[in-house]
Structure 1
Amino acid sequence: MFIAATETNIAYRTADHLRWQDMDFVVGIKVELSNNHTCLGADGRPHAFADICDDLQGKYPKDFKFVGWHPHCRCHATPILKTIDEMNADTRNIIQGGTPIKPTDSKNSVQQLPKVFSEWSKDNQQRIAKAKNIPYFIKDNFIQNKDGSLFPLIGYSCNTTKLKAFKKKARELLANKTFRDNITLSNRSIKEWLNQPHIERNIKDRALFNIENLLQNAEYKGSGIDKHSSKVIVHLYEILLGFHKSWIVVREFSWGRQLYSVSDNKTLLQKIKKSSNK
């Protein structure tokens, strides 16, 4: 029952997280304690207590994925919305053919981790370095360095300086690595992946650090002749990013296969079919 409840809660919270990424009027999340934050004492009665849930409650960036601080965690996340005036302005802009205010430009936008989280990660750096099992809130949002420090995978779509650090970390961990079907990643692969537009931009960028599992579980959709060169073959691997089907593009040269990019453009499949029928 304990495991079942934990996994069910993770599924619900993951669905919330993915749904909020598609909503321009959601500009952050607030992680709050359960109304029943108690523990049964020796007397058989519930008593209030303090744990990691108390330490880490607060406001987090929109792309921070929260599925619980620990097994059977009863904390919950609620969306932080744009102001009423901003949403009214969005409505007028859309009616007039314009675009909504960017979530990062909202007065309510949350773009930094709360101070309590930064302090907690520093205080627990050695424990993280030695830990055999890493909690989801770290695995889903950070790269764990060998010394136990945490490299964040959030907030890059709105910050050029952070994006440079993001690319640098990707090159450090992934450049020249080889994966399924002898597909290699080059510095250009990383640049193309991160520069490529996508309806799930944040999820797409973070997925690069999980490329081994993505490729391993991807469905191979076929190959065709590259439109830029008749000597190059293009392979497509279908994956799911958020709620949207996407395709990893691999180019095969005489010397081997190299990951080229990722796209949510469905016409790629049609081009592959047409090319293979020629």
Structure 2
Amino acid sequence: MIDFNLRISVFLLVFSALLVWQWQRPRSALLQWRQRWQHNIVLFMFGALCVRIAQPLLLSLVAVFGQNFGLFNTFDLPFWSVVLLSVLALDCLIYWQHRLFHEIPLLWRLHRVHHSDPELDVSSAIRFHPIEILLSLVIKAFAVLVLGIPVEAVLIFDMLLNASAMFNHTNARLPKWLESLVQLVIITPDLHRIHHSRESEETNSNYGFFLSIWDAAFRSKRKQALNGDENLNIGFPGTKTYQPDSLKALLAMPFKTFQKSDFKKRSH
């Protein structure tokens, strides 16, 4: 219960702070925020319910079967170093999970719900299909078991991941002098905005959610949009203006095979 209360408190605090930032210093005008926020919040509620039900069960199974098991338990390391290595390992795992969700067609069917948002702001960080949320939990639980990651490290990483995801989706930008420094280590709104482009070449870059070092190490980092930030078109990759027009359409996206005719109403 303490774990859940702490995470939700940090989430609400960071969400509120970033909401104020993008309201006070908006990067661009948000023309469709009402419908988008309705959809994103409902998806978040579905996802939160999945986490609330599934995560305690998965962590309990890990705790039962993972005592004295896992890579980090084979070394006599200080606890602080195990926590640090665990956070780094989990962040690298998220990078590769995200990248594979783009590269494997079946997984992309789930993840394209996130990329269907036609505008980008802090609410976009909670726009994920519930099935993707559940699959991510299973992947994380497997990593926790195999690596022997302590519960404390999982809690720290979850809070870092949620906070950084909200930060890099925010409809705001850092000052230029600060941007170049911060993006050396952390994924910024400038970097992640490129990842949400409708151009596939841009979409398939900047996969990190927290640390940008993985994109740099695995050669997927893109510092500038192909045609400049002012011409960057946010939304569903491979289309000009298409977006799901209802919550039902969003939930059905993983099970739908799109044809060119699906995009005619809103493409030009």
Settle same-fold status: TM greater than 0.5: no
Whose strand fraction is larger, Structure 1's or Structure 2's? 1
Whose helix fraction is larger, Structure 1's or Structure 2's? 2
- TM-score, normalisation: structure 2: 0.26
**Higher Cα radius of gyration:** 1
Higher normalized contact order (CA 8 Å, seq sep 6+, divided by chain length): 2
- TM-score, normalisation: structure 1: 0.25
